[in-house]
Amino acid sequence: MYSNEMRSLYSFCLIFFIFQFLLYFYIYIFLINLPSEKTKFDVSFYNFVNEQIDVYGDRTPPLRAFILPGGGELSSTLQYARAVCRRVERTIVPLLKAEAIDGDCLRFVNRLSDLLFILARYIASISGRKEAVYHRFQSDPESKITQIP
């Protein structure tokens, strides 16, 4: 019998397998289309991401402050993937303006980056890691990075 943590990690890996497939599929579709053809995006993928955000968002502690990347190797890697996803989002904007892609594609990438953030927090939480919180620098030259108790 598997523990709840192992089942959560299994479903987590399954989600990323699905995302990897979707990304390769859409890269393929985009590359085979003529530049003048608009690539349609299946909204069910967007809905799937939103469902996963709800599932894993409910399993993480409430967000009370700006979180810095950290919380262990896997959590940090997910935060890095989120930054890459944001870069992809900025790259998509000119394609959207040129009407080369569907607007749902941009919405999907935006929500995917949100999911990566939530999954990073979830992994940090189940692994017992504390999140590093940013505090605005005022007049004290000491470090302003703390951890949530």
pLDDT in tens, 17-53: 667 766 666 666 665 564 555 556 677 878 888 998 9
Q: DSSP assignment, residue 140?
A: -
Closest alpha carbon to 29 in 134, 100, 120: 100
Domain spanning 4-147, CATH architecture:
Up-down Bundle (1.20)
- For the chain, which residues make up each domain, given as ranges? 4-147
Q: How confident is the model at residue 142 (pLDDT cuts 50, 70, 90)?
A: low
For residue 88, pLDDT beyond 90: no
Cα-Cα-Cα-Cα dihedral of 137, 79, 132, 66, to 10°? Answer: 50
Amino acid sitting at position 133 = V
pLDDT at residue 99 is higher than 80? no
Output the pLDDT for position 38. Answer: 57
pLDDT value at residue 1: 45
